[in-house]
């Protein structure tokens, strides 16, 4: 359970007398837990030397409010032959308008797909940057996309924290990569139906979005431990 009796997973109070106002829940996320009266919960530290108690410190918790409906998809993704279940609030197909989503470049740098409106976008979704296949996929797309003409943006996204992304970019001497973390809100996984129920990670997938915001290519790699179809993704970028 989270601090002050809050369950950070389901976003419900578990201590009598605690509640969270619906007005504090824009979309799927509340800004911070509050008392019945609407005042923020303070966190007071133990008294210091001389018995002086520090001033109240406000704290913020982000937790996931489970969507009312969750779509489950089977037989699209597997790990070493074992079928996995993909979850999300919706599914996206070629020809659909690409849903906007929020992810993070760092702990505080918030990025949206809409930030790249008017550009061709390729999204490379990987389970974890610290695995060989994900590392190969990320390096390959960074190399290949750099050779293409046109206003193309490559977004690599995973459930890794931004620290892991920074470490990987440093180790591979890649300076301009846009590496996004979906760990904080899970917005991308939810809107694109790519959360692996069994692992809580993103399914390996490649999405190409045209300048008009329409999905041109969407591959969910059948085997989690296999690399994607690079040729098809690059062809979609060039078309």
Enzyme catalytic residues: 134
Tokens, residue 173: 């001497």
Contact 84, 72 (CB under 8 A): no
What is the C-alpha to C-alpha distance for residues 123 and 233, in angstroms, rounded to an integer? 10
Helix (H) or strand (E) holding 131: none
What is the C-alpha to C-alpha distance for residues 144 and 52, in angstroms, rounded to an integer? 60
Tokens 């997938």 belong to 205
Strand partners, 43: 57
What is the C-alpha to C-alpha distance for residues 101 and 127, in angstroms, rounded to an integer? 18
What letters, b where the CB count within 10 A reaches 16 and e where it falls short, cover 203-230? bbbbbbbbeebebbbbbbbeebeeebee
Tokens 């904080």 belong to 184
Q: What is the CA radius of gyration of the chain?
A: 21
Tokens, residue 10: 């389901």
């Amino acid at each position: 359970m989270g601090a002050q009796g809050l369950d950070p997973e389901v976003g419900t109070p578990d201590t009598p007398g605690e509640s969270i106002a619906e007005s504090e829940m824009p979309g799927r996320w509340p800004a911070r837990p509050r008392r019945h009266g609407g005042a923020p919960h303070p966190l007071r530290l133990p008294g210091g030397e001389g018995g002086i108690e520090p001033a109240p410190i406000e704290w913020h918790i982000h937790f996931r409010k489970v969507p009312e409906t969750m779509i489950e998809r089977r037989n699209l993704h597997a790990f070493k032959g074992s079928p996995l279940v993909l979850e999300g609030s919706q599914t996206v197909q070629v020809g659909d308008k690409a849903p906007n989503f929020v992810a993070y470049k760092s702990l505080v740098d918030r990025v949206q797909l809409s930030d790249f409106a008017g550009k061709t976008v390729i999204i490379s979704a990987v389970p974890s940057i610290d695995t060989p296949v994900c590392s190969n996929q990320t390096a390959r797309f960074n190399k290949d996309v750099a050779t293409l003409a046109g206003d193309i943006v490559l977004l690599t996204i995973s459930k890794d924290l931004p620290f892991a992304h920074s470490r990987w970019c440093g180790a591979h001497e890649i300076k301009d990569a846009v590496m996004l973390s979906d760990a904080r809100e899970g917005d991308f996984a939810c809107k694109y139906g790519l959360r692996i129920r069994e692992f809580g990670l993103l399914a390996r997938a490649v999405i190409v979005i045209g300048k008009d915001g329409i999905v041109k290519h969407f591959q969910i790699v059948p085997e989690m431990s296999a690399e994607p179809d690079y040729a098809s993704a690059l062809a979609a970028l060039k078309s």
